[in-house]
Structure 1
Amino acid sequence: MTPTVKILASRPCVAACLHRARALPAVDRASLSPSLGPTGCRGGRRCAAQAAGPQTALAPSREEVITADPANNVTDNIFSKIGVNLHQQRGHPLCTIKEAIYDYMDKEFPGVFSKHDNLYPVVPTVANFDDVLVPLDHVSRSPNDTYYVNKATVLRCHTSAHQAELLRKGEGNFLATGDVYRRDTIDATHYPVFHQMEAVRVMKEDYWRATGLEPVVACERELKATLEGVARHLFGDVECRWVDAYFPFTEPSFELEIYFNGDWLEVLGCGVMQQSILDDNYAAGTKGWAFGIGLERWAMVLFDIPDIRLFWTDDERMTKQFPPGDLSARFKPFSKYPPCFKDMAFWVSPEFSENNLCELVRSVAGDLAEEVKLIDEFTNPKTNRTSRCYRISYRSMERSLTDEEINEVQFRVRDAVAEKLKVELR
């Protein structure tokens, strides 16, 4: 059987980070500010509030995101991405994917779905986790995985963070698109900021009774038909298959795979909404389905884009390759600049984690950091200390890097790792 290829550019909203486990306490909802509604805009080179007009939420100021709170772990590198809103930039591959999904949903469900792509990215911790039933011991609550503004607020990890709030506002059918933030590894398919689309469809009792089916069956049937249609609208007449999955906020839950360019690709997570989410936030007795799409995931596959950093470049050799609305465009390589490799070995400390290391590398090197890869590890049997050696690949997509430039960057990386992570360099 042909293996499934996991495209990890951006995990779907409905499948937010379900791997390891560490607990943080829940927060009282009464102490939180609303997650919708913008504050002041920081402006800047590509501020979407200026570029995209009045439909764009204003970005928070630096002082609102990078604070002296002990829980705060947002960096200037991450702050610089807030308000860029690639999904709103006409002609950008992510915007093209978003609009293509809009087109399909409007055709299949005329006048049904409201659309939100300007929701404020700083959300209550409760909205990000508790409202969508993420367990208290779930890894995604850890500051190793999530950007905390303070204990009570985070940069949203997924657009599902707006699900309960929109339901409480009476929105029963909506598409919510936005930038999301997760601390992650450094390679061609992972980036700490990416973009997702969340869909929720609520069926009232008279609707699903008219189908003659049990409500869960009716939801599942419509959900699968809708998503197979979306996939074929974007990728052509592809073969689809469904895999049972687990997500805390849907039951049953599924992953959709498509057969594209000779491989089975996992493209999204979805399911029938947990009844408690609808009962607590919308109306008892209603049923519904939800799905989450990672826009980078789909765009990298559809447009043959090999490196997730390319979505953030202003280089016209990239941006001019993708006319607005053109789903047939394919990426043509324009950079042949070589990588520069630097190794760094150290004895690990309690403060060390691979995500912490990658965050520091990004904070110093920005998008020059192409990959951080563990190449050696051993434990001294006498001292029981563990040594790790990481190879950092630096490469610009736009120009050649000099040894002098990268040596200076590497010195700053080493100093930051030693100071912040308390490791002993070797």
Structure 2
Amino acid sequence: MSDTSELLHTPLHALHLELGARMVPFAGYSMPVQYPMGLMQEHLHTRNAAGLFDVSHMGQLRLVGEDAAAAFETLMPVDVVGLGINKQRYGLLLNEEGGIIDDLMFVNRGEDIFVIVNGACKHSDLAHIKASIGSLCHIDAQFDRALLALQGPQAVTALQRLLPGVENSVFMTGAAFEWAGGDLYVTRSGYTGEDGFEISLPANIATDFARALLAQPEVKPVGLGARNSLRLEAGLCLYGQDIDTTTTPVQAGLNWAMQKVRRTGGARAGGFPGAERVLAQLDGTDPLMKKRVGLIAQERIPVREHVELQSLDGTVIGEVTSGLLGPNIDKPVAMGYVSPEHATMGTRINAIVRGKTVPMEISAMPFVPNRYFRG
């Protein structure tokens, strides 16, 4: 979209402009990539205090009806039926080849299954879910609601002043709150590797709530640029870059997201799109051709997406999907896919950056320790 007038605006658009944000097109929206503080300082502030992100471009859905959990479970290799009230889980919509249509978060709120999907995929996700299970439950798209993420070790200190009681929640749980006459739903989650919260709220109070948060001494506004560097340091996939319809959960190293009840034996094992391929990859009967790995450059040269990866003898073995200079680790970090025989921790390989060979080492992820609050 070259004409920015075609771009959609989140409810916080005017506030971003007032705060001096540099706006860029993202997922069809005009979004803040950074504020005057700059990407590096926004990243470090989030790691040390609390950063406020506008993620209202993402899609919010409600699945309603007594069969909603069972119906949703047929679309993913994930335990939906067994999820407790106000508990949250990471999910993966798959196609018939086991490729990832989208990754998402969902909460069992008792009265509904509340789902948050990626902004660029939300309309296609909605169509896919309606076509697949629309006869089994009511699907309510809430694309007009705002979504804020407050991330960092001091997020809880700031948020509890506005929403007393929010400090009682733990990682991957949610609770309902009321503020200025609006209904909020807050989960203790996020995509930075830090403790933090995601806050779903009506659009008409979003700017006032964001201002109230920004008035707290711990909180600064943070844009998409630092959101990307934070999630990469945390070893988290970006949909459309690190995972897509050509990658399976097993290739992506997301085995942890597929609970045992959906993988082995029992009435609820399998039964999701691409199950035959995914389960065969899990048990080794369908050998992997590629595996997602973490990479640390041995020289101070950032290695970015689409850079070719080679073995030490010059054979092409894969490609980088995300990469940048990690502000906290203070080294160039990346993730990408390599052939399984080169995926062992400590293996040395080369990235080819503008014709220059950059030595890389296969590394564990996350690159910086996650600090989720588990109680």
Scaled by the length of structure 1, the TM-score of the pair is 0.26
Between structure 1 and structure 2, the one with the greater Rg is: 1
Q: Which has the higher helix share?
A: 1
Q: Which has the higher strand share?
A: 2
Scaled by the length of structure 2, the TM-score of the pair is 0.29
